[in-house]
Amino acid sequence: MNLPNKLTISRFVLTAAFLVVFFARFPYSDTVALVLFGMAGLTDYFDGKIARRDNLITNFGILMDPLADKILICSVFIAFVERGLMPAWMVVIVVARELAITGLRLLAASRNLVLAAERYGQNKTISQITAILSVLVLESHQQWGFVGKLFSLPIFGRPWVEPFTHISIWVAVALTFVSGWLYLWKNRELYLRDM
């Protein structure tokens, strides 16, 4: 098994570890969860970069890399609902979009077609990661001593990280919805011909 595929598999392990730590509620658990999510995000960045650079693209990686990404992102957002950090309806939009696009790609694959990632999808991913990181920072920055106080600097009487987190969540949900709608519309001939 090559290094990019090992990194992809490690993302599944890091997702499970994140969930255990996120719900364990021990001292500094939110900080540890933030570090685990950051590590998972880095594996996503490096597995693709190494695979392209060293020509190590495999069928396993083509299938499992996006699956690992979706499981990580959806798991974290669902965990946020359980802890009351995000409304469920927002997370339903995220999960529904990921399932719809995965289904569309599977339909395309059954017809020997490959649907490439779109720029909107890449922006959606960046916005989702930003939203997740901001929620985790909001939950954990009080544990960081002096550095944490930088995230508590007030804007309109509230720590600046609070409005930033709310804005990043709304941006992520909006981009998730719009990118999913655009992707489904652009590739509508794939599913409309079977209706």
CATH number, residue 42: 1.20.120.1760
Question: Do residues 184 and 104 make contact, with C-beta atoms less than 8 angstroms apart?
Answer: yes
Tell me how far apart the alpha carbons of residues 31 and 85 are, in angstroms, rounded to a whole number: 16
Q: Which domain holds residue 188?
A: 3-192
Q: What does the pLDDT read at residue 103? A: 85
Q: What does the pLDDT read at residue 194? A: 64
Question: Do residues 169 and 88 make contact, with C-beta atoms less than 8 angstroms apart?
Answer: no
Q: Count up the domains in the chain and report the number.
A: 1
Instruction: Map 30-95 to HEC letters.
Output: HHHHHHHHHHHHHHHHHHHHHHHHCCCCCHHHHHHHHHHHHHHHHHHHHHHHHCCCCCHHHHHHHH
Question: Please, what sign has the CA dihedral across residues 56, 59, 62, 63?
Answer: negative
Q: HSE (CB half, 13 Å, CA atoms) of 116? A: 2
Q: How many CB atoms lie within 10 A of CB 59?
A: 7
Q: What does the pLDDT read at residue 180? A: 92
Averaged pLDDT, groups of 10, the chain, 195 residues long: 89 96 94 96 87 83 85 96 97 95 83 74 90 96 86 84 96 96 87 70
